[in-house]
Structure 1
């Protein structure tokens, strides 16, 4: 019986050798040599997600710093795809933590743009409508939604803060967001 496996490329072996060498010696020049091969990939991922050249360049440098620790913490079978996922996750976290409350529009918050006072740009009126609708959520939904969107916590942080399971947190956020949308639609019809 013959088993088919993905062919091993020469650079895969070289990546593995450099990775093992860095793990053994912690020589940053070795890690730098490995990372240098994939800097264009990391930069491209940064541009794709962050949509800004300077932020993408910053991501390339920050991800290298992260690598110095993460390569010791993870079992890496193939460096290139692993680095891609690490880069993507880094960029997504940058987007998430980079959003400040004042730059997140209420439309983005509930992902339903026609709902919020389509005839006015009165931010104060929209904020009051949102606050009224937040008060109509169940306590668990309100707490989860506020922590997730307004305090910019990740699911795990919300779970830690509330004592809810991850699935409960996701459910409370999803249902709370849906209920906010419904409430805001009703308010805009008045």
Structure 2
């Protein structure tokens, strides 16, 4: 079985039959036959997201393992589209789980030039500086920034958790982000 086989479009006419057969019998050979038609698609999705050939090959096998369970649990109307989404979600979860370093990025607009990772010598000093600057923010800004960036809540969730209006949350986050940037830049210049 080739990772790069370039068959024309897979024959989707038998997908439903193969899927039904697998659901009824639990025969992995049947599921394997169905999956094999789409392995180039799955590999392409994995390569797009993971950007590593070996990781992508491993992911193709891991997705098959997930498929063994999920194919019986989910209502699948169009196997190809469903498998694409399953593959994409798997890769996104891999990226999230395998983050070796986390760059503290605030809203994609302002990135701090340090990485939160214990192996980097200056990291502890950078994190301490960030914590000191966070303490200088108003309580509303601290809480909003913590929930939004650190705990990865959306604006609506932050508003619900804090009792602030949506506009207040956005303002606290924007102003807090600006104040953090100013504080960190001032401390870097010293």
Q: Which of 154, 163, 184 is residue 180 of structure 2 equivalent to? A: 184
- Contiguous gaps of at least 5 residues in structure 1: 1-8, 149-154, 156-164
Deviation of 1:55 after TM superposition, in Å, equals 0.9
Alignment match, 1:68: 68
Alignment match, 1:25: 25
How many pairs does the alignment contain?
160
Q: Indicate how the Cα distance of structure 1 residues 111 and 128 shifts in structure 2: closer, same or farther if over 3 A, else same.
A: farther
Of Structure 1 and Structure 2, the greater strand share is in 2
Residue pairs, 1:94-133, within 5 angstroms: 94-100=94-100, 103-106=101-104, 108=105, 111-113=108-110, 116=113, 123-133=123-133
Residue pairs, 1:13-162, within 5 angstroms: 13-100=13-100, 103-106=101-104, 108=105, 111-113=108-110, 116=113, 123-135=123-135, 136=137, 137-139=141-143, 141-143=145-147, 145-148=149-152
Separation in 2, partners of 1:31, 1:169:
43
Q: Is the 8 A contact 1:35 1:64 kept in 2?
A: yes
Separation in 2, partners of 1:71, 1:166:
35
Q: Indicate how the Cα distance of structure 1 residues 27 and 65 shifts in structure 2: closer, same or farther if over 3 A, else same.
A: same
Deviation of 1:65 after TM superposition, in Å, equals 0.3
Q: Indicate how the Cα distance of structure 1 residues 145 and 134 shifts in structure 2: closer, same or farther if over 3 A, else same.
A: farther
Separation in 2, partners of 1:179, 1:138:
10
- Contiguous gaps of at least 5 residues in structure 2: 1-8, 115-120, 162-168
Give SS of 1:105's match. Answer: strand
Q: Is the 8 A contact 1:110 1:177 kept in 2?
A: no
Separation in 1, partners of 2:159, 2:39:
35
Q: Indicate how the Cα distance of structure 1 residues 79 and 49 shifts in structure 2: closer, same or farther if over 3 A, else same.
A: same
TM-score by length of 2: 0.69
